[in-house]
Amino acid sequence: MSALSEKWFVIVNPVAGGGRGLDHFPQISRLLREAHIVCEPVFTEHKFHATELTVTAVREGYRRIIVVGGDGTLHEVVNGLFIQQTVRPDEVLLAVVAVGTGNDWVRTFGISSRYQDAVKAIAAGCSFLQDVGVVSYEESHYRQSRYMANVAGVGFDAHVVRKLSHLKKKGHKSRWRYTWCVVKNFFRYKSTGIKVWVDGRLVYNNLLLSVAVGICKFNGGGMQPLPAAIADDGILDLSLIRPVHFWHLLFRFHYLFNGGIYRIRHILQERGSRIRIESSPEVSLEVDGESLGHTPLEFSILHRAIRIVVSPDFPGLKSPAQTA
């Protein structure tokens, strides 16, 4: 048990990033060896396999996990940490070497997409306790729940993620496919009547194009729908996107990427620890880039619930108590 607790369990998604998980792992493995990081690599074979592997690894005694994959693989691993009953989730140290398409979660924590820099961060061992969201939703006539490490999208954003998944299945690998999906579907998607409650207070009751709810700042391959989000403040950030003409958004598109999203007057900001969203008709949900169910939705937050490896330069490292 003690030997395994010092060894890293590496979960590799071979299809992440259009196959980069498999193609680039020999390079990543070499970098890990050169950094004297002892590890046991295992490749995922199907959807949700990373969740199963996480549960098994923790049960066997591993207390350090490296994710070689994208935001979807990380999502599965985080859910595995909460499914397992062996230890508290924050007793497992979680690191990411990003090989996915969007790699949005790592952006918040200053983790480089360059493999050698990501491995250096793992070797440095600077850790941070991050909040985790819990979302309850409807799917197949059942109430279900999932844990969230990054950002959830409701409405148009979830619609785009569904369309994007179809493109992935067809083998489209362009780095611009998310932006293409956004533009193409913008003219087809109809805004929906949505009610939003924040901490029991009705804050919106009108047509909405999309809603972003989350812990971190980024999604969609570098967009910042929640630029004010702080990953350990115990609060969920929301951006409510009202119906907007494309011409109005076109000249302000750069605000979606540079943190100035609230300079677009059609986008409203809210914050709270408990969120409820209802709609008529139902609208879709995506969490960490994974398509799930639909409204009604409830979001809550677990304060500083998982321990993650971050860049040594990450400004959130405020005190020695937050580092391993």
CATH number, domain with residue 8: 3.40.50.10330
Q: How far apart are the C-alpha atoms of 87 and 231, rounded to whole Å?
A: 22
Q: How many CA atoms lie within 13 A of 117 on its CB side?
A: 12
DSSP 200: T
* Cα three-residue angle 122-126-131, rounded to 5 degrees: 105
Tell me what pLDDT residue 171 has. Answer: 59
Q: How far apart are the C-alpha atoms of 204 and 251, rounded to whole Å?
A: 26
Per-residue pLDDT of the chain (324 residues; tens, 9 = 90+): 567 778 999 999 999 988 999 999 999 999 999 999 999 999 999 999 999 999 999 999 999 999 999 999 999 999 999 999 999 999 999 999 999 888 999 999 999 999 999 999 999 999 999 999 999 999 988 999 999 999 999 999 999 988 877 666 655 555 566 677 777 788 889 999 999 999 999 999 999 999 999 999 999 888 999 999 999 999 999 999 999 987 777 788 899 999 999 999 999 999 999 999 999 999 999 999 999 999 999 999 999 999 999 999 998 775 444 444
**Which CA distances in Å does 310 have to 127, 215, 228, 300?**
6, 15, 19, 24
Residue at a domain's end among 98, 125, 152 = 125
Secondary structure of residue 199 in the 3-state scheme: coil
Structural domain for 85, as ranges: 2-125
R_g over Cα of the chain: 19
Q: How far apart are the C-alpha atoms of 100 and 153, rounded to whole Å?
A: 19
- 14 lies in a domain? yes
Considering the domain architecture, whether residues 117 and 265 belong to the same structural domain is answered as: no
Considering the domain architecture, whether residues 181 and 59 belong to the same structural domain is answered as: no
Question: Are 186 and 179 within 8 A, CB to CB?
Answer: no
Give the DSSP H or E segment for 137.
Answer: strand 127-139
Maximal CA-CA distance, the chain: 60
Considering the domain architecture, whether residues 111 and 150 belong to the same structural domain is answered as: no
Considering the domain architecture, whether residues 160 and 49 belong to the same structural domain is answered as: no
Give the DSSP H or E segment for 160.
Answer: helix 156-169
The answer to whether the pTM exceeds 0.85 is yes
Considering the domain architecture, whether residues 151 and 289 belong to the same structural domain is answered as: yes
